[in-house]
Amino acid sequence: MSESAPVDTSGSQDGRRETVEAALASLQKTLTKIRGCPEKEKQALRREVEQLESMEQKLTQGRVEIVVFGEISTGKSALINALIGEAVTEVDVRGGWTKEVWHVPWEGSGYCIPGLDQSQIVLIDTPGINEVGGASRAELADEAAERSDLILFVTDSDLNDTEFTALATLAARNKPILLILNKVDLYSQQQRRQLIEILQDRCRDIVSADNIIPASADPREIEYVIEDAQGKTRHELRKPQADVESVKARILEILAQEGLALLALNAAMYTADKSDRIAVLRIQMREQAAQQTIWTFAGLKSVAVALNPVGFADVAGGATVDVAMVITLGRIYGLEMAWQPAKDLFLAIAKAAGWVMLGETVTHFLSSSLKVLTAGAATLLTAVPQAAAAGYGSFIVGQAAKYYFEQGASWGGESPKAVVRRILETTDRDSVIARLKDELKEKLHRNPHSPSNKE
């Protein structure tokens, strides 16, 4: 195995059980967390849930996954066939033959994790690492590497740069790697020795010397000269037996030493990585949903103010939209808020802002609203900037409420005033108002109750 792999080979049986239980617990904790998410997030995390459930099954059943990587035509599929002892996956002289990631149970391996009767080894065939046009295939192969417990990297000569880079990337996963020098039947004894030495030297930092193993998975036919009783000779082509015994022996040796620990540590690393990614994804989703909500409500507020200036002229009237926005935002962050606490939060934010932005926009608006009522469409358009400014007030309230929910329903050790001031300072007021104005104009033109459409 690779020297850096974090595997406790000295661990007692008890220690290994504990590692398995710890891995299982963290897996289940992550799954429980996702199951408690809002429906939309659960939908988006479906794939992650499937992956984690499958990892849970893998661990409890003791399914060891061995993934085979290498350039095209190096004999990856042939190696799997030779290990299993029958042609289960297709081998072809044409490069790029294997197009999918294949899972093949290795029935006759003779390996079973102690105490897990159902345990089995699965060999995973992958397309060549330099296979063209395979972005999604590369993703599948990557997922296979992430899940796998042991990696076989197949080459048929010295490593080229692509192979070396791929091998180094795989080695960084901290899993045991065997580097298989396949097709050794094509080389003389001396060439084999030389090649093995070259590989040991080049890969000394990523693969330990005893994990670099020669093999001939599908040796080329050899011409035999056969002499009959009369001394007549004839030529016959015969295929020598595959030789993958050293590969098989090394795999079984590693598994016997640390099979269960490998499985457990692997599941733990996989879960940690997935739960990090899930956390990032959830933050992104919430951020997106929250911003969308804020824009919707800010837009709604400016429409409401433009159409009903008197009702919305005081803060209490305008608060309806803001309180509804606060409740919706809370829900995005998994918090069910009743009307009164939501209103209190809105008032706290408005107070922190010193009523300035709200008061200012409302006063400005009052003067023009009278004109709207009397003069109709032309004046309405002049009222648009003020109505948009009212929407801007809601936009700020929304950003502050969003911050409050992100901090787990607190101001994160700051005062609401400091938070609101920072939001005001970092918000590009003009561009927010410009966007709200555009939306407002468009909506007023479409709205049958708009004064401009009543004329």
Ligand X SMILES: Nc1nc2c(ncn2[C@@H]2O[C@H](COP(=O)(O)OP(=O)(O)OP(=O)(O)O)[C@@H](O)[C@H]2O)c(=O)[nH]1
Tell me which residues touch Mg ion (CB under 5 A): 76-77, 97-98
Looking at the Cβ atoms of 240 and 408, the one nearer to ligand X is: 240
CA distances from 357 to 307, 318, 405 (A): 20, 13, 22
Looking at the Cβ atoms of 88 and 300, the one nearer to Mg ion is: 88
Could you identify the residue written with the tokens 């290994």?
16
Looking at the Cβ atoms of 98 and 328, the one nearer to Mg ion is: 98
With vertex at residue 276, the alpha carbon angle to CA 273 and CA 281, rounded to the nearest 5 degrees, is: 125
**Least gap, CB of 153 to Mg ion (angstroms):** 14
Let me know: does 298 contact 436? Beta carbons within 8 Å.
Answer: yes
**Least gap, CB of 213 to ligand X (angstroms):** 13
Looking at the Cβ atoms of 128 and 416, the one nearer to Mg ion is: 128
Looking at the Cβ atoms of 141 and 263, the one nearer to ligand X is: 141
Nearest residue to 290 via CA among 382, 399, 393, 421: 399
Q: Within a 10 A sphere around the Cβ of 12, how many other Cβ atoms? A: 9
Task: State the binding partner of 78 from Mg ion, ligand X, none, CB within 5 to 8 A by kind.
Answer: ligand X
Task: State the binding partner of 46 from ligand X, Mg ion, none, CB within 5 to 8 A by kind.
Answer: none
**Which chain residues interact with ligand X by CB under 6 A?**
70, 72-78, 91-93, 95-98, 127-128, 182-183, 185-186, 216-220
CA distances from 440 to 312, 326, 375, 391, 434 (A): 16, 21, 19, 10, 10
**Least gap, CB of 136 to ligand X (angstroms):** 17
Task: State the binding partner of 72 from Mg ion, ligand X, none, CB within 5 to 8 A by kind.
Answer: ligand X
Q: Within a 10 A sphere around the Cβ of 276, how many other Cβ atoms? A: 10
**Least gap, CB of 247 to ligand X (angstroms):** 11
Looking at the Cβ atoms of 217 and 290, the one nearer to ligand X is: 217
Task: State the binding partner of 451 from Mg ion, ligand X, none, CB within 5 to 8 A by kind.
Answer: none
Could you identify the residue written with the tokens 């598994």?
255
Distance CA 209, CA 218 (A): 24
Looking at the Cβ atoms of 179 and 217, the one nearer to ligand X is: 217
Task: State the binding partner of 95 from Mg ion, ligand X, none, CB within 5 to 8 A by kind.
Answer: ligand X
Nearest residue to 116 via CA among 259, 10, 254, 12: 259
Strand partners, 243: 216
**Least gap, CB of 408 to ligand X (angstroms):** 50
**Least gap, CB of 97 to Mg ion (angstroms):** 5
With vertex at residue 454, the alpha carbon angle to CA 375 and CA 439, rounded to the nearest 5 degrees, is: 85
**Least gap, CB of 73 to Mg ion (angstroms):** 8
Helices assigned H by DSSP within 187-244: 189-202
